[in-house]
Amino acid sequence: MPSPAALELSQTLNWLVVTDTGMLKASPAGLRVAACEHYEAALRRIVTDYAEALSPDWLQNAPWGRSRVLSFCPVGIHQVMVEAGVASGTDDEVVAFWDHLAALARGRRDDRLLEIGRRGERLTLAYEQARTGKEARWVAIDSNQDGFDVLSVRAKDDLTPLSIEVKTTTSVAGGLHLTRNEWEQALDSIAHVFHIWIVTGSVSPKLAVISAEAMEDHIPADTGAGEWREVLIPISEFGELFVAQGV
């Protein structure tokens, strides 16, 4: 790697910092790499710092195992994994390395899913404000244990409480996960609907408003000693109900 590129990478990975006097100084992260006792350990530390700082595309494969990462990562990264001694073997340090990458990937994915979910909830708040002329309450921001996300009313002239469970996806090819708690809340509510949002880039979001009665067609039944806890329902089941929104 050319020296300027190496210097830039070292700063990107927070190995070097610039002091008040304009001098370069090793950061705690940089000292951690330098303190590694052998070459393989240093490479593992470098890969970990790289994944944490840049969240590269190949990292998303880590929860599905080592072979998936090695299949999809760039050739250079693959070679580093081999030289770091983590492309094979099952000793404690190797397993800990892959577990850490998987945890990083899950964290990034969970953050992304939360971001998408919050966008849908905000869209529902705006939609309900326009539909009823009243400000709905964002229940999910205070607690995710209530079994619904937004509390609104049935209509401008009907102040019956309406609980809304919001599901958001970026593709009609996806699915929505519905928990038993969310379904039981739908049954217990005086009035309840499901808002399913499709949000894709700069395209206007699309909304399908699903009644509890319509959702019931996709709810499994307990049999024998078994109880269902979560069901995955294809978004395509509600394809004809989606309407583009201007909110």
What's the pLDDT score for residue 81? Answer: 95
pLDDT for 171 equals 81
Distance CA 192, CA 125 (A): 15
Average pLDDT, consecutive stretches of 10 residues, N- to C-terminus, the chain (247 residues): 87 88 90 93 94 90 89 94 93 89 83 82 94 92 79 94 93 86 92 93 87 93 92 90 84
Give residue 63's pLDDT. 86
**Model confidence over 151-169: pLDDT tens digits?**
999 999 999 999 999 999 8
| CA geometry: angle 234, 235, 237, nearest 5 deg | 75
Model pTM above 0.75: no
| Confidence at residue 152, expressed as pLDDT on a 0 to 100 scale | 96
pLDDT of the residue at 43: 95
For residue 247, the model assigns a pLDDT of 59
What domains sit in the chain, N to C, each tagged with a CATH number? Answer: 3-110 (no CATH), 116-244 (3.40.1350.10)
Residues 104 and 51 sit within 8 Å (Cβ to Cβ):
yes
171 and 196 in contact (C-beta within 8 Å)? no
Angstrom distances, CA of residue 235 to CA of 170, 180, 198, 200: 11, 18, 9, 14
Looking at this protein, which amino acid is placed at residue 152? S
Q: What is residue 175's predicted lDDT score, i.e. its pLDDT? A: 86
Using DSSP, state whether 32 is helix, strand or coil: helix
Residues 6+ apart with CB under 8 A from 46: 13, 33, 80
